[in-house]
Every structure is written in structure tokens, then in C-alpha cells.
Amino acid sequence: MSTIKAVAARAGVSTATVSRALSNPEIVQPETRARVQEAIEALHYAPNHAAKSLRMLRTSKIMVMVPDVSNPFFSEVLRGAEEAAQGAGHSVLLGDTRGDETREAQYAEMLLRKEADGLIFLGHRMPPSLARVAAARGGHAPLVNACDFSAEHGVAGVHIDNSRAAAEAMGLLYSMGHRRVGVIAGPLESHLTRERLAGVERAAIAAGAERGLTIVHADYTIESGLQETTRLLAAPERPTAVFCFSDEIAVGALSACRARGVACPTGLSIVGFDDVRYARFLDPPLTTVRQPMAEIGRTAVKLLLDILAGEAAPREPVTLAHELVVRASTGPAS
Amino acid sequence: MSTIKAVAARAGVSTATVSRALSNPEIVQPETRARVQEAIEALHYAPNHAAKSLRMLRTSKIMVMVPDVSNPFFSEVLRGAEEAAQGAGHSVLLGDTRGDETREAQYAEMLLRKEADGLIFLGHRMPPSLARVAAARGGHAPLVNACDFSAEHGVAGVHIDNSRAAAEAMGLLYSMGHRRVGVIAGPLESHLTRERLAGVERAAIAAGAERGLTIVHADYTIESGLQETTRLLAAPERPTAVFCFSDEIAVGALSACRARGVACPTGLSIVGFDDVRYARFLDPPLTTVRQPMAEIGRTAVKLLLDILAGEAAPREPVTLAHELVVRASTGPAS
DNA sequence: GATGAAGATGTAAAGCATTACATAAGGGAG
DNA sequence: CTCCCTTATGTAATGCTTTACATCTTCATC
């Protein structure tokens, strides 16, 4: 490929002028600029990013670490992040960790090697090497957690009020007369799970229905939702409603109902979480807690860019609005 | 951050030795290596990637351009690609184009600026600046198309036999006695759409049912599937079956059926395409053409890495196996 | 006409790691 | 003991761009 030197030679100027013509056109004389432009086009010149990055100590890249890109929730958040990054002249480095600590550590390393200016992580675990960075720089570390925020890390974060959202979902079920309610939660290691469970319990206590509460744990996949729901349905005193911590789990729950001949919502009311794109198109359309997924992604990027721009005050975690969307998968307890 | 120079100073060796200790440990004396290692850890040294990349003229990055990350088909392919890239010591730069030519061109630029070693694109359009590269270097350009391959570009590609797959799907419907069949295809600009339509027509002719064929176009979204199916159902001689060019479209079709009180499959048989993760959990479980999504992603990366490794012969496009998966959304024509 | 400011462009250092080539030390063979 | 080969390490060039600082014009002002 051609270098800036070749362009400079062809245009009969110095490399400095070429550089200026590209990054600061108004300070070079129009005729000079035109000559440079001609040379650039003739030689198909494109500035070498590595050299630029080395010199400027910035990469214009943001690493986004997700547990599973093919999960519709994460992919929507990712999309929002990608959009915002792109809009701000950055690009997204994708890290799919599969929930694996080794992979997480590897991606975290990339930040230290300066392959990205900052990192957004969507899991609940912060790799140790990042924890060190965060500890050293506090809220100014170029790290943002999305969704599964835990204040103890001292890093910036975006999330919804998981506790309240869960309480509202449970409240809906209780208000419809359900007393035996199953909750298919995520893994307990996750801060998010614990937050939501706190909301669940609060709602159960408020409704005086703690005794009817059954909590089981799944891993957010359809299959685990199917399995746990099947188990719940087989119990002697089976629940009349389930609250699933993701729409994927809810899809599994619906599937379990069909397999056992239980109608939804008459036999079992189902509430999901996330409101992924297909939730409203399920049969029956799913009652669920909508998270503003794209907005979460965009906000995470915005926070990160603010930090990179060196904004003064350490960031408060941002809480975005959720919404309980009532559709046809919930009905009165029979 | 600390540099290799700092490490060298602390370990009492030259920077060359530090570099060797990292990339070629066996050629440095164990004691020296240990001293270097100690210094690296003490200083939390991590090699600056920009410098390395500048020097080595490689970035260890692969750009993957998708029309929409949040589409389950693309996100599965992406996941496969990410996995393979990661396994080969590369990382993935994500470009979500939203089908927008400007964005496509922007991401293509990144290849020219050497922000990535190669590019995999999942749309049907090849940005002009890449077409130039491809023309210049033929099958040796670091470009791979996944899914929507057109031989005319002269770039490497991975795909399934779309024409045959479509013919098989239609064949299933015809074998079940359907004569009036709707096809909800993708946009005609796409090579993939034209391939599949060729298969559709072949099957229709073989079944002597061309007259009963209605072809409409959607954009692969649930909403467009819903809309087109609604339209088909409203026709005076409405079809008894529809073949959708994606599972997302099929979800829309199912939704349209429910809205109009048409039972599936008794009132309308539905065939999808892709076999995304939730297809089998729909109600009824969706008959669909399975594409090996993760495998497509992995193969695309493999092809790209082969090209980057400078393998001799220009690559033949790779055709992977598909499979018609018959579930409950199809039944005999009534 | 001299002085100074403003504007345009050039010179060269800096950013950091890799590696070809040079050097030094150690060991074996003659 | 000398010479050569091997092994371990150092020296310095290289990859390409950006930008502080220097230089040179040009023009306005007194």
C-alpha cells in the first residue's frame, strides 16, 4: 500500500501537509489541498491505522464483551452499542465469552495491550486484571458494565431497576389472584439475579404469599426454561404462574406447557423478562418486562466515551426505565 | 503504561531480549527469561498492540460485516465466526451495516486503513472499494462472503445450496398435496433470493403447479412476514401453504394466522428457513430448512485465514450441507 | 521602510515493538 | 593453543503518522 510519504512526494509537499490536509483541511491552502487530494486518489492512499494509533495513543475501538452474541437480549444491546460507537467514530471489537473466565481474561488483556480504548462488559464477572485497573483509577477507568451492575466494583454502569421490575412482575401475578408462583431465576452468582430475587421476595411478602413461592435456577436458555418449567408442573402443588428471568426461559416455559397439555394462560400464566423482538409474536403473546436494550447499549457507549474524554466527576450508575408489558400470557388464577 | 524499554531496564537486558522472551521464549536463557518475567509482572507490562501491528504489518483482527446483529440468523453466524477467530488468535471487529451502503463503505474503508487483516461480509452487496481490491487480487483478496455468495465477484465464499434447499422445501409442500403456495421471498437485489426463487420455480414446474404460485417480497423481519402473510390470506384464492425465506418471516406468518383465526397447519402450512434456535419451540414447532449457521461462520473465518496465510490456489466457494427439518407447522392440504 | 502578526508549509522527534545483523562468550576439534 | 561453530544477547533500523517547533512569505501598521 502507499504511504503518506508517497502521497507527499507526488503532491510535492511534506508529509506534514498531507497529514494536515486530511485531519485539518481548513488550515491548508485550497490549491495545495487539491494537489494532495489528487495524489491521495491516484495512489488509493488510506492512512495506516496502526501508525496513527501508535502516535495518538488512541485506537478508536471499544471492546464489548458479551456472554453470548446469539442470545437475542445481548445482541440487541450490542446493536445499540455498535450504533452509538459508529456514530461517535469508534468501532466495536466483539468478545463472546461464553461465560468462560479464561476467555474473559483474554479479552480483558486486550485492553491492557491497548487494542481498545475502553471496554463494556455485559456479564456479572469482572476479570481480575480489570479489577486492578478499576481499583487504581476508580470511576475513571475506561470500563462500563451494562445490565449486571454491582456498585462494589466502582466502575460505571447502566442498568434498569431490576429489583423494582421484578417486584412489579410479581405484583401483576398476585393482583390476578395467583398464590402459588414459580420463579425461574438466573444463576445466583449474578448480582442481577440477586437484585431481582430481592424484588420477588418483597412482592411476595407484600402479598402475603411467601409460602407459595418456589424459586428455581436456570441459565437463561430456552432449554433450561423448558426443563425447569416441566419440573415445576410436575410438582404436587403446582404453581399457577411462573415468572421467568428472561424471555428465552419463557419460551421454554411455553414449550413445556404444550408438551404437558397445560394451556397458557388458563393453566399457567407466564411472565418473561426483556421483551425481545419475538416476545409479542409468541402464542400467546408474552407478558414481559421490557428492558430498553438498544438504549442500554447506547448509554454504555456514551458513558465510556465520557470517561475517555476525561470528564471530571466519577460517574453515577445510570438507571434506565423499564416497563411491564402485559400481553396474553397472563390471566387470572383459576 | 510501561513500555518494553522499562522492562528491559529493570531486567538489565536489551529490549530485543524482552521481545524474544515473550515471543520466542526457548531461545533465551532460563535465568534471563526469569528476570524478564519478573520485570514484566512487576511493571504490569503488556506489549502495545499498535506498535506491534505497525511493525509486523498485521493486526490479528477480522472485520465481520453483518446487516443486523440482532437478527438471530446473523448473530449465530457471527458467533461461529467469533469462536473460530478467537481460536486462531484473532479478534473480531463488528460492523453492523443496517443494510446501509454508506455504512458498508465505511467499514470497507477500515480494511484499507489496515484496521483489520481481512473482511467477512454477510450481505449481498460488496462495497465498491472492496470490489476494486477483489478485482486486483482475485481470489487472493482477504475477503470472504458468507451466505449470499455470487461467483461474479471472484471472492471466496461459504454458503449452502440455496436453490436446492428451496426446491426441497417446496417439494415437501407439493408432496403434501398443496397446490396454491405462497412464497415470501427476500429482496430481489439479493443473489440469494434469486437462487432460492430458481429452486422454487423448478419445484413448481416439477409439480405442475406454477399457476398456483404466488411470490411476494419481504425484508426478512417478523413484521414484514406478518404483513405479507396477512395480504396472502386476504386473497380470494388464498394459498394453503407458505414458504418463508427466513424463520423470522415465518414467525410473522404464524402471527398473521392467529390474528385471522387461521389454524396452522390445518388452515395454512408454514415452512421457514434457517432453523434459528427458537424455531423448534414455536407453536406449532416450525418446519424449516436448517442452515449450519455456526459452521458457516467458522468456515468463513477458516477461508479467510487460509487466504491470509497465502495459500496458493484461489478458493473454490464452499457449499455446506443444509437439512429440511420437518416439524408440525406443515400438514396435508385440506 | 521597518516591525510585527498571521498564515502556510517544512523539519524532525516521538510513539513502541520486532528483527536482521553484529558482537561476545563458550566449547569442541584439530 | 588456535580456529570455528554455536548460543545468547545487544545495536540499531524499520514500520507510518502526527505535531511541536522552526522557517519563510505576505500583508498591514506606524
Same domain, B190 and B107: no
Give the model confidence (pLDDT) of A68-103 as tens digits: 999 999 999 999 999 999 999 999 999 999 999 999
Residues 6+ apart with CB under 8 A from A68: A74, A96, A98, A99, B79
Query: Within chain B, how many helices (H) and strands (E) appear?
Result: 12, 12
Instruction: Report chain B's mean pLDDT, rounded to a whole number.
Output: 94
CA of B17 to C1' of D3 (A): 29
Residues 186-245 of chain A with CB under 8 A from chain B are: 222, 226
Residues B278 and B207 occupy one common structural domain: yes
Question: Do residue B190 and residue B301 come from a single domain?
Answer: no
**What is the predicted pLDDT for the residue at B154?**
79
pLDDT attached to residue B314 = 67
Across the range A173-182, mean pLDDT stands at: 98
- Cβ contact A94–B94 (<8 Å): yes
- Distance between CA atoms of residues B215 and B237, nearest Å: 14
Quick one: DSSP state of residue B99? T
* Residues A307, A240 share a domain: no
Are residues B262 and B200 in contact, defined by beta-carbon separation less than 8 angstroms? no
Inside any domain, residue B52: no
Query: Rounded to whole angstroms, what are the CA distances from B116 to A1, B64, B119, B139?
Result: 14, 10, 7, 18
Closest by CA position to B115, among listed A1, A143, A16: A1
In order of A163, A187, B114, the CA distances from A194 in angstroms are: 8, 9, 44
Q: Give me the percent of chain B exceeding a pLDDT of 70.
A: 98
Name which of A248, A278, A293, A295 to mutate to probe chain B: the one with the most chain B Cβ atoms within 10 A of its Cβ.
A278
- Spanning CA of B25 to C1' of D7, the rounded length in angstroms is 14
pLDDT (0 to 100) of residue A123? 85
Nearest to A54 among B50, B64, B75 (CB): B50
Closest by CA position to A177, among listed A212, A151, A152: A212
Residue A110 has pLDDT above 90, yes or no: yes
Q: B272 and B301: one domain?
A: no
Task: Tell whether B305 is covered by a domain.
Answer: yes
Mutation target vs B (from A53, A70, A327; most B CBs, 10 A cutoff): A70
Q: What is the pLDDT of residue B274?
A: 98
- Is the pLDDT reported for residue A172 higher than 90? yes
Cell of B96: 453492523
Answer yes or no: is pLDDT of A114 > 90: yes
B287 domain residue, yes or no: yes
Q: Give domain status of residue B54, yes or no.
A: no
Contact by Cβ (8 Å): A245, A273: yes
Out of A93, A251, A281, name the one closest to residue B222 (CB): A281
Identify the helix (H) or strand (E) that includes residue A227. Answer: helix A222-234
CA-atom Rg of chain A in angstroms: 25
Find residues 161-190 of chain A whose CB sits inside 8 Å of chain B. none
Contact B96, B127 (CB under 8 A): no
β-strand partners of A269:
A241
With respect to residue B221, please indicate whether it lies within any of the assigned structural domains. yes
Residue B136 and residue B216 in one domain: no
Mean pLDDT on B321-330: 98
Q: What is the pLDDT of residues B92-116, one digit of tens each?
A: 999 999 999 999 999 999 999 999 9
CATH number at residue B28: 1.10.260.40
pLDDT bucket at B172, cuts 50 / 70 / 90: very high
Q: What is the DSSP string of A156-170?
A: EEEEE-HHHHHHHHH
| One domain, residues A268 and A309 | no
Confidence of residue A183 (pLDDT cuts 50, 70, 90): very high
- In tens, the pLDDT along B183-235 reads 999 999 999 999 999 999 999 999 999 999 999 999 999 999 999 999 999 99
If asked whether residues A223 and A177 sit together in one domain, one would say yes
Name the band, by pLDDT with cuts 50, 70 and 90, for residue B150: confident
Query: CA A55 → C1' D28, Å?
Result: 39
Answer yes or no: is pLDDT of B149 > 80. Answer: no
Could you read off the pLDDT of B39-78 as tens digits, one per residue? 999 999 999 999 999 999 999 999 999 999 999 999 999 9
Cβ atoms within 10 Å, residue A91: 22
pLDDT band of residue B313 (cuts 50, 70, 90) is: low
Q: What is residue A209's predicted lDDT score, i.e. its pLDDT?
A: 95
Does B94 contact A82 at a Cβ distance shorter than 8 Å? yes
Residue B247 pLDDT > 70, yes or no?
A: yes
Q: Which three cell numbers stand for residue A277?
A: 423482538
Say whether B281 and A222 touch across the interface (CB within 8 A).
yes
B271 neighbors B312 (Cβ within 8 angstroms): no
Tell me what pLDDT residue A46 has: 95
- Residue B54: which nucleotide is closest by CA–C1'? D15
Question: How far is residue A61's CA from residue A86's CA, in Å, rounded to a whole number?
Answer: 10
CATH of the domain at A181: 3.40.50.2300
Mean pLDDT of B67-90: 97
Q: Are residues A226 and A287 in the same domain?
A: yes
Residue A332 lies in a domain: no
Q: What is the pLDDT of residues B251-285, one digit of tens each?
A: 999 999 999 999 999 999 999 999 999 999 999 99
List chain B residues with CB under 8 Å of A106.
Answer: 86
Report the percent of chain A where pLDDT is more than 70: 98
Helix or strand or coil: residue A281?
helix
Please return the burial class of B194, using the count of CB atoms within 10 Å of its CB with bins 0-12, 13-18 and 19+. Answer: middle
**Distance, C-alpha B291 to centroid of its chain:** 10
- Residue A255 within a domain: yes
For chain B residues 31-90, those near strand D by a CB cutoff of 7 A are 31-32, 51, 54-55, 57
Let me know whether B147 and B193 are in one domain: no
Report the alpha-carbon angle A49-B97-B75, nearest 5: 105
Max CA pair span of chain B? 87
Is A262 found in the same domain as A193? yes
Strand C closer than 7 Å to the CB of A29?
A: yes
Count of Cβ atoms closer than 10 Å to residue B217 Cβ: 16
Among residues of chain A, what percentage have pLDDT more than 90?
87
> Taking CB atoms and an 8 Å limit, are B54 and A54 in contact across chains?
yes
Structural domain tally of chain B? 3
B213 inside domain = yes
The residue segments making up the domain with residue A172 are: 162-291
Residue B158 DSSP SS3: strand
Length of chain B: 334
Give residue A23's pLDDT. 93
Please indicate, yes or no, whether residues B287 and B178 belong to a single structural domain of this protein.
Answer: yes
Task: Inspect the interface and report whether the beta carbons of B112 and A44 lie closer than 8 Å.
Answer: yes
H or E element at residue A273 = strand A269-274
Alpha-helix runs per DSSP H in B88-208? 101-112, 128-137, 162-175, 191-206
> Phi and psi at residue B270, in whole multiples of 5°?
-130, 130
Taking 70 as the threshold, does the pLDDT of residue A314 lie above it?
no
Residue of B nearest to A47 (CA): B113
Min CA distance, A177 vs chain B (Å)?
27
Cell 487480487 belongs to residue: B137
Taking the CA of residue B13 and the C1' sugar atom of nucleotide C21, their distance in angstroms comes to 18
Mean pLDDT to the nearest integer, A26-53: 95
First to last CA, chain B: 72
Angle between helix B4-11 and helix B30-43 axes, rounded to 10 deg: 130
Nearest to B171 by CA among B52, B271, B298, B62: B271
CA A323/CA A274 separation, integer angstroms: 9
